Each structure stands twice: as C-alpha cells, then as structure tokens.
Amino acid sequence: MTVWQETASRDLMSLGGRLALLTRGEGSWVWDDEGNRYLDFLGGIAVNCLGHAHPVFIDAVTEQAKTLAHVSNYFATQPQLDLAARLKRLAGTGDSGRVYLANSGTEANETAIKLARLHGAKTGRTTILVVEGAFHGRTMGALSLTPKAAYRDPFEPVLPGVRVVERDVDALDAAFDESVAAIIVEPIQGEAGVVELPEGFLARARRLATENDALLILDEVQTGSGRTGEWFAFQRAGIVPDAVTLAKSIGAGFPLGALVTFGAASELFYPGTHNSTFGGNPLASAVANAVLEYIEDNDVLAHVRAQGQRLRDAVVGLPLVSGTRGAGLLIGITLARPVAAAVREAAHARGLIVNAPTDDVIRIAPAYTIGDEEVSAFASLFEQALVEVDAATASEYEDSETGKVSA
C-alpha cells in the first residue's frame, strides 16, 4: 500500500476504492503522482465537458473570484440572473419558465420531489412514479426514487409514496391513476448501463401526465447541457416536460445543479418552501455561463454528435463488444460476457479511464472537445484491454459457436 493509500484509508470515509492519486490534468489527459498519464474517457462521470484545465473554465473562475464568490440567497447577482435567463432560453421554457440553482444533481432532484409534492397537494395526490433501473441520487429523498436495492436497503425506510414502473409503455399506461402527482424519469439511464427508454416512452409519459393532471419531470443530470448532442435529451424526443433537472456538465467541473420549470409548474414554489445557502452563488454561475456560451458559440454540439458516432464506429468488431447504446458522448458499450469490471481494470493498467456501471457494460463520457487523436488513442487502448480480458476469460464462458461450456 502506498503512502497516499494509507492516508486515504486512515482519513477518508470508506465509501469506495480510489484507483490513483491524480495530480493534474490537461484536455482529455490526467497524470498521477508517479507521472503516469491516463486518457480520461469518464470525464469525472460525465462532468468535465471541456476536459481538464480548459482556458474558458480557468478564466471564468479567476475573473469572478476577483469580485464575488458568495453572497448567500439574500441577494441576487448578475451571473445568477444571466444563467437563469440562459437556461430558460436553451430549454425553450418561454417567459413562464423559472430556474432554481443548486449545488449538485441530487439536490436538484430533491427540489424536483418537493415540486411534485406541491403539485400533488392541490389535488391530494401523493404518488411519484419512477422507472425500473433509475438512479436519481444518494440523499434520502433522491435515494427513495432509486430502486436499486444495494443503494436503498441499508437506509430503509425511505420516502413513502414512490412507485416503480417497468421500462415498458404498456406498464406506463397501467401505472397512472388518481394518486399520481408526478413521474420522474431519465431519458437515458446512465447508472443502469446507459439504457435507452423504449420508443415512444417519453411521448406517452407526456400524454399520460397531461391527461392525469400530473407532472412530467425529467432527470437530465447526466444527459443535459449538451451531453447527447442536443442541449437537452428531451429535445431529441420532441416533447416538453414540466420540469427538468441538471448538473454534471453544466459546470464543467464546478459543483452546480439546477431545476428548470415550464408553464404552470413554475408557480408552485413560494417563499419559504425551499432554498440553499450556496445554490446559485456567483462563482458557480459565472463558470456555467462561460461554459455554456463557449459550447453554443463554437457549435460544440455538432462536434459531440460527430465524435460520438466516430467512437461507436471505432469499437465495432472489437473482441467482446456486442453493441453500443446511448447518444452523443454518453455511450454504453455492451459486452458479450459479464466482464466489464475486468475490462475497466485492464484499461486502467494501460492508461485509459472508463467505468463499468453494470457487469456487461462499459460507460464512456469523455469531454465534448475530444479530437480524432483522442478517439484513435481510446480505440487502441480499449482494444488492448479487451484482447487481454477475452483471452483470460474465454475458457469460463460458453462457446457461441459450439454451445459448449468449456469452464
């Protein structure tokens, strides 16, 4: 065990393994304390949309820190007002939209839960629908929306009134009744393995929510701020939600979350129902404004779509790869065997950072700014990792041609 590992074990909560002690980053690359270089294709779990140490990020932090960093929610600041107006415009809320600024995705989703409760209080409805495989955060309210037993069981009882719906249009139809106040759904389920919803699911959810006087709330913590090649994934589906939550890429590494509301949902909160000491602070808001402006002014979303397709094409035919899913630069690479953890470790040993949200999926979420050189480097390193794991595990799994088990 190294010195830093001993220190981490002694001083930090035991909440998960740490693969290396990273010391600096530049673009899509990071370095550890021993000088080893890694190609970062996880991007802080879909956060570092401009990569590491991007000049736009550095300049925004530096310039805003010279004036105001924090003033509390008793005051407004220009960066906060500018960001709210920008998010309304990008989301297409019109004049009726409103924005609440938080510090993280789980906080944005906590706010969305309160929004659902306020809406339901008007008619006595208390049920919130969520979709199987969902992940909405780890605070107690957001955890209540996350069906995965491994996350929930240690903390039962969680928030009551949450009902899980199968990832199926017919099941969605059956789930709506007079008790439903809202449905909260991810357009693409990142933690479930970059799982896409069935065709027409979001459109049906929109119709059912409208017909049953319920809110459609979209969790775009991973998919928002351009990750899928559009500003919001709901824009790909051609629907308009009542609210959408954001975080991760919106701050390009600076902690920030948001809830954006549409239409009548914008009138539900009133003074005293919610707030945050740090939420919408001028430093975070200034960074988000600079990041979103850069993406918009430089047509970065078109680049996200193009590079996402190049990455999909690059893994076709590689050992163990059975397919890809997702959109833009949120990509799940499905494997023919449940060896994703081994692939992740083999990739890390070669200087490539990816992650394994499930046993048979590798998730990548690189910077929006990756070039062809980074795509080629990824393909080479990833292929090497796949070849190693394929050879090491071949005898343990069924031969797809003979149907025999050789373990």
Q: What is the pLDDT along the chain (407 residues), one digit of tens a residue?
A: 899 989 999 999 988 778 899 999 999 999 999 999 999 999 999 999 999 999 999 999 999 999 999 999 999 999 999 999 999 999 999 999 999 999 999 999 999 999 999 999 988 999 999 999 999 999 999 999 999 999 999 999 999 999 999 999 999 999 999 999 999 999 999 999 999 999 999 999 999 999 999 999 999 999 999 999 999 999 999 999 999 999 999 999 999 999 999 999 999 999 999 999 999 999 999 999 999 999 999 999 999 999 999 999 999 999 999 999 999 999 999 999 999 999 999 999 999 999 999 999 999 999 999 999 999 999 999 999 999 999 999 988 865 444 433 33
Alpha-carbon torsion angle 297, 300, 302, 308, nearest 10:
-170
Residue 326 and residue 188 in contact, taking contact as beta carbons nearer than 8 Å? yes
Residue 256 and residue 284 in contact, taking contact as beta carbons nearer than 8 Å? yes
Angle CA(14)–CA(20)–CA(26) in degrees, nearest 5? 130
Nearest to 56 by CA among 252, 231, 228, 279: 252
Per the listing, tokens 């996200």 go with 304
Residue 220 and residue 232 in contact, taking contact as beta carbons nearer than 8 Å? yes
Non-local (6+) Cβ contacts of 193 within 8 A are 332, 334, 357, 358, 360, 361, 363
Which two three-digit tokens encode residue 108?
């944005």
51-68: per-residue pLDDT in tens?
999 999 999 999 999 999
Which two three-digit tokens encode residue 361?
């999926």
pTM: 0.95
194-222: per-residue pLDDT in tens?
999 999 999 999 999 999 999 999 999 99
The strand pair at 361-364 and 355-358 is best described as antiparallel
Cross-strand bridge partners of residue 24:
31
Q: Where are the domains of the chain?
A: 3-56+299-393, 70-296
Q: Which amino acid is at 30?
A: V
**Terminal-residue alpha carbon distance, the chain:** 34
Q: Count the residues in the chain.
A: 407
Q: How far apart are CA 359 and CA 337, in angstroms?
A: 8
Secondary structure (3-state) at 289: helix
Secondary structure (3-state) at 339: coil
Cβ count within 10 A of residue 398: 12
CATH of 70-296, one of 3.30.465.10, 3.40.640.10, 3.50.50.60, 3.40.50.300: 3.40.640.10
Nearest to 210 by CA among 247, 242, 173: 242
Which stretches within 73-165 are classed as H helix?
Answer: 78-91, 105-121, 140-144, 149-152
The answer to whether the 3-56+299-393 and 70-296 domains have the same CATH topology is no
Secondary structure (3-state) at 311: helix
CATH of 3-56+299-393, one of 3.20.140.10, 3.90.1150.10, 3.30.950.10, 3.40.50.300: 3.90.1150.10
